[in-house]
Structures are given as C-alpha cells and as structure tokens.
C-alpha cells in the first residue's frame, strides 16, 4: 500500500435532508470533518468525506442505514500560491497518470490537495510526486 489517506464515500439519494442526516450522525459522535465534497448524478449522489476517525464514522453511518465505502486517496501539501495545483497536475499528466477526481482540504498555513487516480497507478503517482519534492501525507 502506498502512502495514502482514507476517504469515506456515502451513497445519498437526491432529496432534502439526507445530507443533514450524515453530518448529524458525525456531529453527534464528535467526529471532525476535515474535508467534504458532494458529487451528484441526477437522482443520486456520492458524498466524499475525509474525517478524523474513518472506521468509527463508517460503523456509525452504516448503523444509520447508509452504504459506505472506504477508499484510499492521495493527499499532498500545497502552498497558498499561484501555480501549485498546476505543478502537481502537470507532473502526473507527464507520466500519463489520470486524475479521476480532486478536491481540497484546509489545514493551517498550507492547503491540502486530495486526488484520486486509478488504484493500480497510485503507487507510481506517489513516487512521481515525491521524487519531485512534493510532500505526500499519510494523515490529514
């Protein structure tokens, strides 16, 4: 397993109040959300979350009747300056590695860029980034 962080994906039907139920379960359990992204496709969507306690959050959400999937994603540290996203994207593109999706996460003075590649290419992606001096995180 290459260096990665765990992301939770939660299946949501596109109707009022469902998102609130997820965040409610987490809030009640005192689980901090580090990053959140909602993608929708018509009648349904997937809520992607990076949280402080992945396993506990998964159990609680499943007990609440949600389908949850844990998958590894790459988290890299980025500075708050122009061109930093471009640098990472170009590095991967030059190696022919496709980014399936990406979003950000804030953490102190620096930002965090979360990205997902094909599973088989994750290890290579991390190597490419680290060899160019990009800091890849194993926790956020």
Partner 1 sequence: MIWNTVESASREAIEAIQLKRLQETARRVYAINPFYKEKFEERGITPEDIRSLEDLQRLPFTRKQDLRNHYPFGLFCVPMSEVVRIHSSSGTTGKPTVVGYNAHDMEVWNEVMARVYTMSGVGAEDVVHNAYGYGLFTGGLGFHYGAEKVGATVVPASGGFTDRQLMLMRDFGVTVLACTPSFALHLAEVAAKAGSEFRKDYKLKVGIFGAEPTSEGLKKEVAKAWGIEYREVYGLSEIIGPGVSCSCSHSDRLHLFEDHFLPEIIDPETGEVLPEGERGELVITTLSKQALPIIRYRTGDITSLVKEPCGCGRTMVRMESIVGRADDMLIVNGVNVYPSQVEHVIANAEGVTLNYQIIAEKKGHLDKLEIMVEVSEEIMTDNVGELERIRKEIQASLLNNLYINADVKLVEPNTIERSMGKAVRVVDKRR
> Which of 17, 30, 65, 133 is close enough to bind partner 1 by CB under 8 A?
65
Least distance between partner 1 and beta carbon 37 (Å): 10
46 binds partner 1 (CB under 8 A): yes
Write the DSSP assignment of 93-138 as a string of letters.
HHTTPPEEEEEEEEETTEEEEEEEE-GGGHHHHHHHHHHTT--EES
- Residue 39, C-beta contacts closer than 8 angstroms, at least 6 positions apart: 45, 46, 48, 101
Instruction: Give the separation between CA 8 and CA 81, rounded to whole angstroms.
Output: 29
Least distance between partner 1 and beta carbon 55 (Å): 15
> Which of 4, 48, 114, 129 is close enough to bind partner 1 by CB under 8 A?
48
98 binds partner 1 (CB under 8 A): no
Burial of 73 by CB count in 10 Å (0-12 exposed, 13-18 middle, 19+ buried)?
buried
Least distance between partner 1 and beta carbon 82 (Å): 30
68 binds partner 1 (CB under 8 A): yes
Q: Where does this chain bind partner 1 (CB under 8 A)?
A: 7, 9, 11-13, 18, 39-46, 48, 62, 65-69, 71, 100, 116
């Amino acid at each position: 397993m290459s260096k990665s962080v765990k992301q939770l994906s939660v299946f949501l039907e596109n109707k009022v109040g469902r998102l609130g139920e997820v965040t409610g379960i987490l809030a009640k359990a005192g689980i901090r959300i580090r990053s959140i992204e909602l993608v929708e496709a018509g009648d349904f969507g997937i809520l992607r979350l990076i949280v402080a306690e992945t396993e506990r959050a998964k159990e609680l959400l499943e007990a609440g009747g949600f389908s949850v999937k844990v998958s590894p994603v790459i988290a890299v540290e980025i500075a708050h300056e122009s061109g930093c996203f471009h640098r990472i994207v170009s590095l991967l593109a030059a190696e022919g590695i496709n980014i399936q999706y990406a979003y950000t996460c804030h953490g102190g003075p620096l930002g965090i860029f979360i990205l997902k590649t094909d599973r088989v290419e994750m290890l290579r992606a991390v190597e490419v980034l680290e060899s160019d001096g990009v800091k890849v995180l194993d926790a956020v």
